[in-house]
A and B are shown apart, each in its own frame.
Chain A
Amino acid sequence: MLPLLTLHFLAAAVAPVLVRYLHRGTFPVLALVPAGGFVWLLVHGRPDGTDLEHHSWIGTLGLDVSLALDPLRWTLSLLVTGIGALVLVYCTSYFRAGDPGLWRFSAVFVAFAGAMLGLVLSDNLLLLYVFWELTTVLSYLLVGHNPERSANRRAAMTALLVTTFGGLAMLVGFILLGEHAGTYSAAALVADPPASGPLVTVAIMLVLVGAVSKSALVPFHFWLPGAMAAPTPVSAYLHAAAMVKAGIFLVALLAPAYADTPGWRAVLVSLGLLTMMVGGLRALRQYDAKLLLAYGTVSQLGFLMTLVGLGTRSAALAGLALVLGHALFKATLFMVVGVVDRSTGTRDIRQLSGLHRRMPVLMVVAVIGAASMAGVPPLLGFLSKEAAFAAAEDLGHDLGWTVAGPLTLAGLTLGSILTVAYAARFVWGVFGPAPGVDPCSIKRPSYWLVAAPAVLAVASVVLGLLGGPLTELLAPHADVFPAGAHEPELTLWHGVTVPLMLSVLVLVLGVALFVARHPVAAVQHAVVDRVPMPDAERGYQLVLRGVDRLAIELTGRTQRGSLPFYLGSILVVVAAVPGTALLLAWEPTDVRVADSPAQVVVAVVMAIAAVMTVRSRRRLRAVLLAGITGYGTALLFDLHGAPDLALTQVLVETFVLVTFVLVLRRLPQHFSTRPFTLSRWVRVAIGVMSGVLVAGLAYVASGARVADPISDGFAKPAKEYGGGSNIVNVTLVDIRAWDTLGELSVLVVAATGIASLIFLITDRATLPTTRKPGHDSAWLRNPSLPPERRSIVFEVVTRLIFHAVIVFSVYLALVGHELPGGGFAGGLVAGLALMLRYLAGGRRELDAAAPIDAGVVLGVGLALAAASGLLPTLLGGGVLQSAIVDVHIPVLGTLHLVTSVFFDLGVYLVVVGLALDVLRSLGGGIDKDIETDHDDAQDDEREEVRP
């Protein structure tokens, strides 16, 4: 069975290619695939039990490709493949040559046929769901085949959403059932159903939601008439053999084990009968022949669902026979409408006139189809309807339905009367004369177009005459149900029984209803117009609109586009969630407040500076105050005995401060005025709360210490393994060199990123400007500042100390392993030296001091650090592993060289590159920007003066 399915999807894959060469001729080729399946099924013959075929796919989820063939599946597969093949043949002449959408249509249609076949062959319920949803999505594409019309797009969307909704409910049902029973095999679940209980009932109800929505029962029926926006071949297939039959199939599959689940029969029979009425009544009001048939399908689906849902032996047989009968006549009728549509250009029965003369063959075909639908002997429709009446008659005995049984029978009868009426309306409307309309002129359809429905009509006749063999063929499906009052039989002649009398009654009343169609229509319209009817479609629209509105309002609330709001909500969550936990964990601990009074003093100063920072109105003041907290941190490090960290912190703070000031030149002096509104008080509260929270966290976490910190163990290995007595530096470049490498890349990226962003704004590159040094300079090579901003003392001092500072920075980088310093501190010192040059002489001076591209420095630094990490692997060590080498240099003595120094040099270069980048972009770039503005302003002034 798997090759059969695979073949369908392969055919779908090659279809677009075939269309390129064969155009419409692709369809007969594609038809070979389902036709082959049909033949295979016939040759294989009806299985007596259940043939299983298993291929594992995802064992973890219980989702396996397990296929089954039993009498029910065999029958449906024949329909799916047989009608599929005929519809494909029909497509050949239905589509116009050169239709640009053919490649898409042919592929999607064959895939759809494959999905439907897969659905009826699936044993694994999850696999069944897979195919189920595939039919949904593919039908979405088919319904929207001509998407230019907005109604088509809407119809496609409705079909998609409604059936997916049901499908998802069904999936949950399957999962509940499967997880409860421990298997997803339908065969196993039917043979050995889990003990009934609330869980199973809920699961089954969810499954029924899926079946009911797929098979377009009330209240989900509205999607099906809309879906006839699809090209007619699709409608023929979708209404007759595919898609809507899926729900019927599922119910028929599960009924043997689950029909006794509380609510099963009540839901299915009541919805089925209601649907039969609603569909029939609405069909009687339609003027579009295709729409009339679509409502007819709704009605028939109600009929079918009632039968398969009843779960008695005779109803099951009648149901299956009706599935067969319905497929044959409905496909016939849709194809007839397609032919009429193609030949006359309309489907409106008020416009169609006189076709009985012009298309007699087609009319015969249509009459057979309609008669089978109406249940006229000796057609298949009659056999199944008789069987259905017989099954309903026995309900009192089979299920003990003394009241509901006769009601069901009455309902079926009433529905059948409507069926006869709309069948007559269809034939008369399409082929009969229309009052006041001249006979239509037609374009003669090709024989192929008529052949397909004709074949199906013949089948309706032949099978109608073969009641006995048919009973034998279908009975095994029904035999799994307990025997009822009578053994069911499909036959033309039961004798004079209740079903026969009902059949006669139905025909008579149906024809009467048709004859009296004008007064009946008037009454219907009057009722529909006056009495407010519950309208499922309007409900659906209301739900959609409601969700839409909810979505917009909710998103408007949460998605403010305001940064303070987002920050505030994050902080509030942090305060609410970990904060609550903190309150619950609160316990007095023996944490020391401070080691020395000096710490307290520094902390208090920092706190005051922090508060003043946020209260500050001037930007410069805020920056300087923030700097105090930074220097305070350095002091705390020093008090704690970490001169290295303190040094680095001071350097960083200085560098940042200067950078800030450089940027502030381009910003307004004051922050924007902020009135003390409620929202500001809220922000103040959030800020205070966050501060308190962090303090509380520090208190509680420190008090909860359970183990000595690992850093206690750093000292010895740092010396022995890391080869340095400066633990901080060994930590940075060796123990946690990996972190440092990462942070280096952060620096590199930040530097280049800022530079490129500033460049885009100021057109100022990180490249040095190449210009010949000026000769007017006394001390500095190339001062670019206007004379009034130059300071001779500053220039002299800078000139004198620059090289010394650079040398010192290299020294710091190299001794870092033993003494305070390191590549980071060294790089910062060098950066500060460059900053001096810049501040003293402006941007050109900076270029003269470091005539090199900052990006290259950064790149070399990063590459050096990474490569020095990789190098040890070549020597047999690990990445970033240090080797200690003592090099004896004559005269100078011994050089204690740890290979991590190369790593440190990489750090040094990156920091220098960063400094260069920042100075060039934020310093020089903004300088140039200001100069340009200045020039512009002067130009403007001149302009103003002139007139």
Chain B
Amino acid sequence: MIDQVVLLPVIMPLLGAGLCLVLGRSAAAQRLVSVIVLALVVAVAGFLLHRADTVGPQSVDVGGWPAGIGISLVADRLSALLLLVSAVVTLCVLLYSLGQGVAEYGRATPLSVFHPTFLVLSAGVSNAFLSADLFNLFVGFEILLVSSYVLITLGGTDARVRAGTIYIVVSLLSSVLFLVAIACVYAACGTVNFAELALRMPDVALPVQHVLQLLLLSVFAIKAAVFPMSAWLPDSYPTAPAPVTAVFAGLLTKVGVYAIIRTQTLIFPDSGMNDLLMWAAILTMLIGILGAVAQSDIKRLLSFTLVSHIGYMLLGVAVGTELGLTGSIFYVAHHITVQTTLFLVAGLIEYRSGTTSLDKLGGLARAAPVLAVMFFVPAMNLAGIPPLSGFLGKLALVQATADLSGFLPALAIGVAIATSLLTLWAVAKAWNRAFWQPAPEESVDRDHTDSLHGHGRPAAGDLRTSDIVEAVEDTRLPRSMAVPTLLLVVVGLALTVLAGPLFALTERAAAETLDRSPYVETVLGSER
């Protein structure tokens, strides 16, 4: 019976989504259902992580169909850890969005789609982390992608529909390629169960193995936004409402990274593709961060750092050692938290000032000191300033890379370090301009015109990039938005304070993942 718990992180949000639709008229009931469901998911994820760490991987065969025929879901340390982190982040974003009132976005739609869609998104993410079946992984991706299509176009403004088009079409292409890859894998191996694939793949001729591996890698690389297949991300994420962008940035690309880790370690353990992965990691880090340096809008800047830091996670996988993987897993957990936090803070900045453009912002350090702290700490964390978790993750990755020898690892270290410095530059520039530099003339002019001609806020209204703020006259931070953000800042700091046990856990997770046998035996039963 206890094994059925593994299904709860998926089925509870789906049930909740159904309820939310039925309760469509009552916003309060929707909120209540959503919060309860996601809080339960956090609890279940915590329980699963505890079990996975103390007892071993938790697996369930859905509907009692034996693994291989039916679908299995597995929560091993890797899955459960990522599940827990993403559940916590999702809950915080939900609370934030309640404060912001995204759910009752703009005009009152008769059917509030935000809550059910958000819950389905969470179910999709959970499913992708837990699935032990390639096709079901595809389904997990579809669930989260379709929800994200809806969320990214929320409000239906022209900019969002345009950005959404890029996002949706690219994602659809990746889904088609994923299907092609699944078909090929099934054609060659006759199964889509991860554990069986792990056993059968070595029988496949090596060149064909490479074809399958590269095909899957390409698909996941699109999802994870690995260069040169990353350009869609910065063009589509920034226009969405802040909580949506935050949860996308935190979770969606990481699901791609998780899929890379899972398939690379479980199905293609000695693949010989590590050099290729390392090149991808190097290019992603470098091109991404150069993109960030060139931006003058906080949200776009953050989108580029997101791409860039996917390279770090990839680097650990490319190194392939236990330490490398430890670093990657830790970095994923860190990056989910910090990137989400920063996007939420960007949302707060937008809420307060009506824009996230660095050309128009200014003087926030004096005007909004709490906001300044909430930006500075995660920003430094992102830039890998010690002792924050971003530094610890990078430390593990560089150590792991330094244990290899040769030109490519040396280059990777150099690029990783350069990326770290450039990230610092990018966020420090943002800090200098948005928080330190006095607000540009325009605001002074505005007051001037106000007093002279008596008409209210001429330019400012037009500059607002989001309609949410239109209704808001009071520019102080609402507690209901600030507290969830602060909560995430604290979670980020907790990753640092608890880094000792957390690293021990990620190390065990990496060891278990590389060992493969716990996973395979849990799914198929040890007798095979």
Name A residues whose Cβ lies closer than 8 Å to a Cβ of B.
Answer: 56-63, 100-101, 104, 126, 129-130, 133-134, 137, 140, 144, 147-148, 150, 153, 156-157, 160-161, 164-165, 168-169, 171-172, 175-176, 178-179, 547-548, 550-552, 554-555, 558-561, 563, 565-567, 569-571, 573-574, 577-578, 581-582, 584-585, 587, 694, 697-698, 700-702, 704-710, 713-714, 717, 721, 734-739, 741-743, 745-746, 748-750, 752-753, 755-757, 759-761, 765-767, 853, 855-856, 858-867, 869-870, 873, 876-882
Please pick, from A60, A104, A559, A707, the residue contacting B503 in the complex, using a CB distance under 8 A: A60
- List 8 additional A-B contacts (Cβ < 8 Å) besides A550-B290, A582-B211, A704-B188: A59-B504, A126-B395, A585-B211, A701-B183, A701-B212, A706-B188, A745-B120, A748-B17
Please pick, from B61, B68, B173, B396, the residue contacting A570 in the complex, using a CB distance under 8 A: B173
- The number of chain B residues with a CB under 8 A from chain A is 137
Q: Report yes or no: A706 in contact with B200, Cβ–Cβ below 8 A.
A: yes
Please pick, from B150, B187, B228, B399, the residue contacting A702 in the complex, using a CB distance under 8 A: B187
Most buried by A among B70, B135, B165, B369: B70
Bound-state CA distance A737–B215 (Å) is 27
- Please give the distance in Å from B178's CB to the nearest CB on chain A: 11
Q: Report yes or no: A175 in contact with B500, Cβ–Cβ below 8 A.
A: no
Please pick, from B63, B146, B210, B429, the residue contacting A734 in the complex, using a CB distance under 8 A: B63
Closest A residue to B185 by beta carbon equals: A701
Q: Report yes or no: B21 in contact with A748, Cβ–Cβ below 8 A.
A: yes
What are 11 A-B pairs with beta-carbon distances under 8 A?
Answer: A58-B499, A148-B438, A160-B424, A178-B399, A548-B293, A563-B165, A569-B229, A706-B203, A738-B71, A738-B136, A739-B136
Kindly supply a per-residue 1/0 record for chain B positions 149-178, scoring 1 wherever the CB is within 8 Å of any chain A CB and 0 otherwise. 110010110000100011001100110010
Bound-state CA distance A880–B71 (Å) is 11
Q: Report yes or no: B205 in contact with A585, Cβ–Cβ below 8 A.
A: yes
Q: Report yes or no: A160 in contact with B428, Cβ–Cβ below 8 A.
A: yes
Q: Report yes or no: A140 in contact with B428, Cβ–Cβ below 8 A.
A: yes
Evaluate whether A866 and B11 lie within 8 angstroms (CB atoms) in the complex, with A581-B210, A710-B190, A767-B110 already known: yes
Evaluate whether A175 and B398 lie within 8 angstroms (CB atoms) in the complex, with A57-B499, A706-B204, A756-B109 already known: yes
Smallest CB-CB A-B distances: 4 pairs: A859-B21, A863-B18, A753-B150, A147-B436
Give every chain B residue within 8 A of A870 (Cβ-Cβ).
11, 15
Give every chain A residue within 8 A of B204 (Cβ-Cβ).
704, 706
Please pick, from A179, A700, A878, the residue contacting B62 in the complex, using a CB distance under 8 A: A878
Q: Report yes or no: A700 in contact with B287, Cβ–Cβ below 8 A.
A: no
Evaluate whether A563 and B211 lie within 8 angstroms (CB atoms) in the complex, with A147-B365, A705-B188, A855-B21 already known: no
Q: Report yes or no: B60 in contact with A878, Cβ–Cβ below 8 A.
A: yes
Q: Report yes or no: A878 in contact with B170, Cβ–Cβ below 8 A.
A: no
Evaluate whether A869 and B113 lie within 8 angstroms (CB atoms) in the complex, with A57-B499, A169-B417, A707-B191 already known: no
Bound-state CA distance A863–B14 (Å) is 7
Q: Report yes or no: B386 in contact with A129, Cβ–Cβ below 8 A.
A: yes
Kindly supply a per-residue 1/0 record for chain B positions 47-66, scoring 1 wherever the CB is within 8 Å of any chain A CB and 0 otherwise. 00000000000001111110
Please pick, from A130, A550, A554, A877, the residue contacting B391 in the complex, using a CB distance under 8 A: A130
- Please give the distance in Å from B173's CB to the nearest CB on chain A: 6
Give every chain B residue within 8 A of A175 (Cβ-Cβ).
395, 398-399, 402
Evaluate whether A60 and B63 lie within 8 angstroms (CB atoms) in the complex, with A752-B21, A878-B4 already known: no
- Please give the distance in Å from B28's CB to the nearest CB on chain A: 17
- Please give the distance in Å from A295's CB to the nearest CB on chain B: 25
Evaluate whether A742 and B117 lie within 8 angstroms (CB atoms) in the complex, with A59-B504, A554-B287, A704-B204 already known: no
Bound-state CA distance A495–B147 (Å) is 87
Kindly supply a per-residue 1/0 record for chain B positions 124-150, scoring 1 wherever the CB is within 8 Å of any chain A CB and 0 otherwise. 100100000001100110110011011
- Please give the distance in Å from A151's CB to the nearest CB on chain B: 12
Q: Report yes or no: B207 in contact with A585, Cβ–Cβ below 8 A.
A: yes
Q: Report yes or no: A172 in contact with B191, Cβ–Cβ below 8 A.
A: no
Closest B residue to A184 by beta carbon equals: B399
Q: Report yes or no: B326 in contact with A706, Cβ–Cβ below 8 A.
A: no
Give every chain A residue within 8 A of B120 (Cβ-Cβ).
745-746, 748-749
Evaluate whether A137 and B191 lie within 8 angstroms (CB atoms) in the complex, with A61-B399, A563-B166, A749-B117 already known: no
Say if the beta carbon of B333 comes within 8 Å of chain A: no
Evaluate whether A697 and B116 lie within 8 angstroms (CB atoms) in the complex, with A573-B218, A707-B190, A860-B18 already known: no
Q: Report yes or no: A859 in contact with B109, Cβ–Cβ below 8 A.
A: no
Bound-state CA distance A737–B500 (Å) is 41
Q: Report yes or no: A743 in contact with B111, Cβ–Cβ below 8 A.
A: no
Q: Report yes or no: B21 in contact with A153, Cβ–Cβ below 8 A.
A: no
Say if the beta carbon of B422 comes within 8 Å of chain A: yes
- Please give the distance in Å from A306's CB to the nearest CB on chain B: 28
Say if the beta carbon of B234 comes within 8 Å of chain A: yes
Closest B residue to A737 by beta carbon equals: B63
Q: Report yes or no: A760 in contact with B107, Cβ–Cβ below 8 A.
A: yes
Bound-state CA distance A552–B395 (Å) is 29
Q: Report yes or no: B140 in contact with A742, Cβ–Cβ below 8 A.
A: yes
Say if the beta carbon of B440 comes within 8 Å of chain A: no
Bound-state CA distance A57–B395 (Å) is 14
Most buried by B among A147, A704, A749, A859: A749
Bound-state CA distance A704–B170 (Å) is 30
Q: Report yes or no: A756 in contact with B113, Cβ–Cβ below 8 A.
A: yes
Q: Report yes or no: A717 in contact with B69, Cβ–Cβ below 8 A.
A: yes
Bound-state CA distance A161–B150 (Å) is 41
Bound-state CA distance A869–B304 (Å) is 41
Q: Report yes or no: A881 in contact with B64, Cβ–Cβ below 8 A.
A: yes
Q: Report yes or no: A701 in contact with B228, Cβ–Cβ below 8 A.
A: no
Bound-state CA distance A57–B391 (Å) is 14
* Residues of B97-112 contacting chain A, CB below 8 A: 106-107, 109-111
Please pick, from A700, A766, A862, the residue contacting B17 in the complex, using a CB distance under 8 A: A862
Give every chain A residue within 8 A of B507 (Cβ-Cβ).
60
Evaluate whether A756 and B21 lie within 8 angstroms (CB atoms) in the complex, with A705-B187, A749-B120 already known: no
Q: Report yes or no: B399 in contact with A179, Cβ–Cβ below 8 A.
A: yes
Q: Report yes or no: B71 in contact with A739, Cβ–Cβ below 8 A.
A: yes
Bound-state CA distance A741–B421 (Å) is 46
Give every chain A residue within 8 A of B113 (Cβ-Cβ).
752-753, 755-756
Q: Report yes or no: A766 in contact with B413, Cβ–Cβ below 8 A.
A: no
Evaluate whether A760 and B68 lie within 8 angstroms (CB atoms) in the complex, with A561-B235, A752-B117 already known: no
Evaluate whether A856 and B191 lie within 8 angstroms (CB atoms) in the complex, with A748-B120, A878-B64 already known: no
Please pick, from B170, B402, B435, B503, the residue contacting A179 in the complex, using a CB distance under 8 A: B402
Please pick, from B111, B180, B293, B425, the residue contacting A755 in the complex, using a CB distance under 8 A: B111
Q: Report yes or no: A745 in contact with B21, Cβ–Cβ below 8 A.
A: no
Bound-state CA distance A860–B156 (Å) is 26
Evaluate whether A58 and B208 lie within 8 angstroms (CB atoms) in the complex, with A175-B402, A866-B11 already known: no
Kindly supply a per-residue 1/0 record for chain B positions 184-199, scoring 1 wherever the CB is within 8 Å of any chain A CB and 0 otherwise. 1111111101001000
Closest A residue to B226 by beta carbon equals: A573
Kindly supply a per-residue 1/0 record for chain B positions 403-444, scoring 1 wherever the CB is within 8 Å of any chain A CB and 0 otherwise. 100000000010001001110110011001001111000000
Q: Report yes or no: B391 in contact with A856, Cβ–Cβ below 8 A.
A: no
Say if the beta carbon of B222 comes within 8 Å of chain A: yes
Q: Report yes or no: A748 in contact with B116, Cβ–Cβ below 8 A.
A: yes
Bound-state CA distance A175–B68 (Å) is 45
Give every chain A residue within 8 A of B155 (Cβ-Cβ).
760
Say if the beta carbon of B368 comes within 8 Å of chain A: no
- Please give the distance in Å from A156's CB to the nearest CB on chain B: 8
Give every chain B residue within 8 A of A147 (Cβ-Cβ).
365, 432, 435-437
- Please give the distance in Å from B500's CB to the nearest CB on chain A: 5
Q: Report yes or no: A710 in contact with B191, Cβ–Cβ below 8 A.
A: yes
Give every chain B residue within 8 A of A578 (Cβ-Cβ).
211, 214-215, 218
Give every chain A residue within 8 A of B229 (Cβ-Cβ).
569-570, 573
Bound-state CA distance A361–B486 (Å) is 51
- Please give the distance in Å from B413's CB to the nearest CB on chain A: 6
Bound-state CA distance A698–B187 (Å) is 8
Give every chain A residue within 8 A of B422 (Cβ-Cβ).
547
Most buried by B among A150, A547, A766: A547
Evaluate whether A738 and B62 lie within 8 angstroms (CB atoms) in the complex, with A584-B210, A702-B187 already known: yes
Q: Report yes or no: B146 in contact with A133, Cβ–Cβ below 8 A.
A: no
Most buried by A among B161, B403, B425: B425
Q: Report yes or no: B392 in contact with A63, Cβ–Cβ below 8 A.
A: yes
Bound-state CA distance A717–B68 (Å) is 13
